[in-house]
Chains A and B, each alone.
Chain A
Amino acid sequence: MTSDPAAGNRALLGWVTANTVVVVLSLVPLLWLVSLSFKTPESIGDGRLVPTDPTLANYRGIFTQSLFTRALVNSLGIALISTLLAVGIGGLAAYAIARLRFPGRRALVGLALLIAMFPQISLISPLFNLWRQLGIFDTWIGLIVPYLTFSLPLAIYTLATFFREIPPDLEKAAAMDGATPAQTFVRVIAPLAAPGTVTTAILVFIFCWNDFLFAISLTSTESSRTAPAAIAFFTGASQFAQPIGSIAAAAVVITIPIIVFVLLFQRRIVAGLTSGAVKG
């Protein structure tokens, strides 16, 4: 902070402007989407932010179609299972990477990073053929597998960072207290890594929940089609009407779980649970 009030005001003005720009840029499209979802098909193109005669017809419409409700169930199930697996497997792998000095450790980390950077689109046609031959095309497992492939590196990276922050003395103390390595992990390490685990879970969940590429390519029916893919199949009331209202309503609906997730766990994420472990 500066002692010159004029300069202080200028700085404040600068910050306010910058923040406003960022907020407007990120919120206006979202507000527009919400606004569209409450508009009737006739007023969709009127260019107003506040709908003239707000209606819930779009929401009622999408929830009466099994296309969307069934897709929501698929989305939720696939994303949750992928998240659980990614955090579980990733947690064990990350713990090993953070604590053990085994040959090929660097190679493993490098490989994980390589996979995360791999262009997903290049995998689509091979996977499409492979999945059809394996008989897992258009199934939950057919989506969970590629989601794990791309979310595990992320999970391993984030979790390893959190595990590294846990003082190794705690593991030694647990060993001296008579804990087996498994007991140490479950009773000491895992509770301390909880904020990291939750953060990782949210990131992985968002990745799976938002995915469109794999969902549109590796599904063909309601049995496994997820919400983002299902939205692409929305049709208007007639052949010539655009389903813009329904799409907007569906988009709003699939944003809600993300918001709930983040709000629910944000305190947990921020909480510094390891404070007071050593020294002081």
Chain B
Amino acid sequence: MADIVLDHVSKRFADGRVVVDDVTLTIADGEFLILVGPSGCGKSTTLNMIAGLEDITAGELRIGGKVVNRLPPRDRDIAMVFQSYALYPHMTVRQNMGFALSLAKLPKIEIARKVEEAARILGLTEHLERRPAALSGGQRQRVAMGRAIVRSPQAFLMDEPLSNLDAKLRVQTRTQISRLQNRLGTTTVYVTHDQTEAMTLGDRVAVMRAGRIQQIAPPGELYAAPVNIFVAGFIGSPAMNFLPVTLTADGRALRTPLGEWRLDGPQPDDGRQPDVGRLLERLRRAAPPSGERPLVCGIRPEHFEDAALVPADRSGARCTVRAEVVESLGSDKYVHSSWAGPVALGTDLHADLPIDPPLPGSGGTQLVARLDAASRATKGEPVRLWVDTTRLHLFDPVSGANLTAPRV
């Protein structure tokens, strides 16, 4: 086992496109790191460079302290699970799993022992003599995993290993992978475009966009303190709501499409709520007040509540929207609303984020609120919402940087 260090690693293709741009990343021994991002963000290329399947244009890659930039894959002692599984169709499951060991010229008995051990862990024992064509999708996926674990390599690389499974199997297999990694304690780099996989699997998550790492943090921190609009919008489902707002000249209120929200209302003294003052304090530090300024305001769906269910004296903003769709999940209700008018995000950000474009016939800005199941919100009716103003994120509309990221 070993740590993996990417030191200012870049990848430029022959046509001049830079797909991985100065990535620096340290993956500790035994760590489960997720590389997540929209398609084309360079996450798979990064993985392939660690694997040795792609050349590194610039920078240094160290595995276990050794520079491996020029080593072919077979000398790096790492195993990879492919999105397509890439099982050898002419070999049985046993031969597939034992292929690496037979290339390494291990004695036959040893190979059989290791393959059977791995098959036992993955529940493939009765399928050992079958060919991949005779297996189900989930079984093939496990064979691909088995091919990686029989070798006890220094690290596992996984390239979207679950994306070809159906939804139910994906959740099951996700848990299995997590358990397997815990048990083996092998350094793992896992690539996915699915933020749910990223949040549930990793010790740490690196969010990538356009070849650059945006933020590397544990899942909880990524969710609570995103460094910019992209990370804020990418992590979380349903995605964070973004509104174009204006900070008033006194820096104490936001003019939003849903009315003016005071940020310094009276605070309850129960001590559990984060203080609005701190939000303003952080905002002042990041951007000293200089008259009115436009900002992008981010609100997670769960930081809304049905105003009827919130004590009237509790601080926070209140606004009214028309509930276009109400989804009742039993535990919660999701209220979808939209209105015409200026939007907070440019189209390039929209293209990369898992946020639905506005529905035809509806307005430009979309809003999703997660309300308590007790809410009386009904489709087509106006609903009064309460906004927890202490949990707002305010972003610079030009750079996209989070001006209010809480320190964790």
Contact = CB atoms under 8 A, between A and B. Distances in A.
Interface of A: 167, 169-170, 172-180, 183, 187-188, 191-192, 273-280
Contacts of B89: 192, 273-277
Contacts of A192: 89-90
6 contacts: A169-B82, A169-B84, A176-B79, A191-B90, A275-B89, A276-B140
A279 B100 contact: no
A66 to B, nearest CB: 45
Interface in B128-158: 131-137, 140, 147
B72 A175 contact: yes
A178 B131 CA distance: 21
B140 A280 contact: yes
A278 B160 CA distance: 14
A71 B166 CA distance: 63
B86 A170 contact: yes
B134 A276 contact: yes
B85 A279 contact: yes
Nearest to A275: B133
Interface string B77-103: 011101011111110000000011001
Interface residues of B, number: 31
B85 A179 contact: no
Contacts of A177: 74, 79, 99-100, 103, 147
Contacts of A175: 52-53, 72-74
Given A169-B82, A170-B86, A275-B133, 12 more contacts: A170-B88, A172-B86, A175-B52, A175-B74, A176-B53, A176-B80, A177-B100, A178-B74, A183-B103, A277-B132, A278-B84, A278-B85
Contacts of B72: 175
A276 B74 contact: no
Contacts of B100: 176-178
B164 interface: yes
Interface pairs A-B: 8 shortest CB-CB: A276-B133, A169-B86, A278-B84, A177-B100, A173-B86, A178-B74, A277-B89, A276-B132
Contacts of B82: 169, 172-173
B377 interface: no
B180 to A, nearest CB: 18
A179 B104 CA distance: 9
Nearest to A190: B90
Contacts of A178: 73-74, 100, 103-104
A271 to B, nearest CB: 11
Contacts of B53: 172, 175-176
B51 interface: yes
A191 to B, nearest CB: 5
Nearest to A177: B100
A183 B131 CA distance: 21
Contacts of B137: 279-280
Contacts of A280: 135-137, 140, 164
A279 B139 CA distance: 11
Contacts of B87: 173, 276-278
A103 B140 CA distance: 38
Interface in B112-126: none
Contacts of A173: 80, 82, 86-88, 147
Contacts of A179: 74, 99, 103
Contacts of B135: 276, 280
Nearest to A176: B80
A50 to B, nearest CB: 49
Contacts of A174: 88, 99
A273 B89 CA distance: 7
A277 B131 contact: no
Interface in B155-177: 164
Nearest to A192: B90
B40 to A, nearest CB: 19
B84 A167 contact: yes
Among B52, B87, B164, max chain A CB count under 10 A is at B87
Contacts of A183: 103
Nearest to B141: A280
A182 to B, nearest CB: 12
Among A172, A188, A192, max chain B CB count under 10 A is at A172
Contacts of A167: 84, 86
Nearest to A180: B74
A258 to B, nearest CB: 28
Nearest to B88: A188
Contacts of A180: 74
Among A173, A183, A188, A273, max chain B CB count under 10 A is at A173
Contacts of B104: 178
Among A177, A183, A191, max chain B CB count under 10 A is at A177
Nearest to B144: A173
Contacts of B78: 176
Nearest to B53: A172
A173 B97 CA distance: 11
A188 to B, nearest CB: 6
Contacts of A169: 82, 84, 86
Contacts of A279: 84-85, 137, 164
A274 B74 CA distance: 25
B157 to A, nearest CB: 8
A274 B90 CA distance: 8
B140 to A, nearest CB: 6
B111 to A, nearest CB: 13
Contacts of B133: 275-276
Nearest to B14: A101
Contacts of B84: 167, 169, 277-279
Contacts of A277: 84, 86-89, 132
A279 B133 CA distance: 10
A275 B78 CA distance: 27
Contacts of A273: 89-90
Interface string B53-91: 100000000000000000011100011101011111110
